Amino acid sequence: MTSKPDSGPDWGDQYRLVASEKWKAKSAAMGQPVTDALVEYARPALGMQVLDLASGTGEPAISLASHVGEPGHVTATDLSAGLLEIAAKRAKARGLKNFTTQQADAHSLPFPDNSFDLATSRFGVMFFHDPSAAVQELRRVLRPGGRACLLVWGAFKQPYWESMMGVVHRHVGGPLLQPDGPDPFRFATPGRLSKILLNAGFNAVEADTRALPWVWQGPVEELWEYAQSVSVPFRPMLERVPAEKWPQISAEVHAAVRKYSDGEKIAFRASVVLASGKK
């Protein structure tokens, strides 16, 4: 892409839908190791009732459903009905009968107290308007002894982000992210997500930063197009790029990303934070 992305008030929801459909297979493959890590960390067991927050197009909810079996059940939630529709279709294609979707705000969940054995969220909690309130609400719907298992991005300073959004930022300056906007890295600082869980009343709180495979199966030009399509928090910065600068920026991004490419795939490592607590 060598021109400024289309503007519009519905950037967040509409672009997620378009990108989810266009890149669904490659995006899912890239995110699978992260999904697998969260599922392993959550330790789902046969018969569990599971709640997944900010499920988007279905992960890790779909993977969790295959672990809890039909005695169990997974409820996938998101603010976007359109993304949940994609998730429902994916679950149906896999023949899952223990999977349902529910449009819901994480700050006000439409479930009774003590409804779930396990709750998860992958790349979701850092975008909640009030993470503290959302985590308190999450604790409310968990049964005594139930666990909340959350996964968020680590620091911005990792190759995946620096080789693309970092290049743009060097050219345009100003804020990397809007001070009052969504911040994927708000819980990258060690202990910050644990504190949210502790303040919400969770016990046995633990956290771990890991480097996981983050691999795009395709050329560098394609990954750069994908990154612009889905990286909603960087939208204001991308809009500051003058049209005449896009060719140079894209060329520099391609060169930076190509360092991680073998011609068929681009292999990064994603730095993520896993945190959990028990009710």
Q: What is the pLDDT of residues 64-90, one digit of tens each?
A: 999 999 999 999 999 999 889 989 999
- With cut-offs at 50, 70 and 90, classify the pLDDT of residue 245: very high
Please report the pLDDT score of residue 20 as a whole number: 55
The CATH number of 11-278 is: 3.40.50.150
Residue range 243-252: average pLDDT? 97
Residue range 230-259: average pLDDT? 96
Residue range 223-234: average pLDDT? 91
Please report the pLDDT score of residue 135 as a whole number: 98
53 contacts 124 by C-beta, under 8 angstroms: yes
Q: How far is CA 16 from CA 25, 27, 56, 198, in A?
A: 14, 12, 9, 32
In angstroms, the CA 187 to CA 3 distance is 32
In angstroms, the CA 20 to CA 264 distance is 22
With left for phi above 0 and alpha for psi between -120 and 50, is residue 132 left, alpha or beta? alpha
- Rg of the chain over all Cα atoms, to the nearest angstrom: 19
* Mean pLDDT across the chain: 92
41 contacts 274 by C-beta, under 8 angstroms: yes
Angle among Cα 86, 141, 112 to the nearest 5 degrees reads 90
Backbone angles phi, psi at 117, to 5 degrees: -90, -25
Q: Domain spans of the chain?
A: 11-278
103 contacts 79 by C-beta, under 8 angstroms: yes
In angstroms, the CA 95 to CA 89 distance is 10
In angstroms, the CA 44 to CA 37 distance is 12
Please report the pLDDT score of residue 11 as a whole number: 34
Residue range 248-274: average pLDDT? 97
**CA atoms in the 13 A half-sphere facing the CB of 246:** 16
Query: What is the percent of the chain where pLDDT is above 90?
Result: 85
Partners of 272 in the beta sheet? 153, 210
In angstroms, the CA 73 to CA 17 distance is 26
Q: Would you say the C-alpha torsion 18, 20, 23, 27 has a positive or negative sign?
A: positive
Q: What is the pLDDT of residues 127-181, one digit of tens each?
A: 999 999 999 999 999 999 999 999 999 999 999 999 999 999 999 999 999 998 8
182 contacts 127 by C-beta, under 8 angstroms: yes
Please report the pLDDT score of residue 96 as a whole number: 97
Could you count the other beta carbons within 10 Å of the beta carbon of residue 214?
20
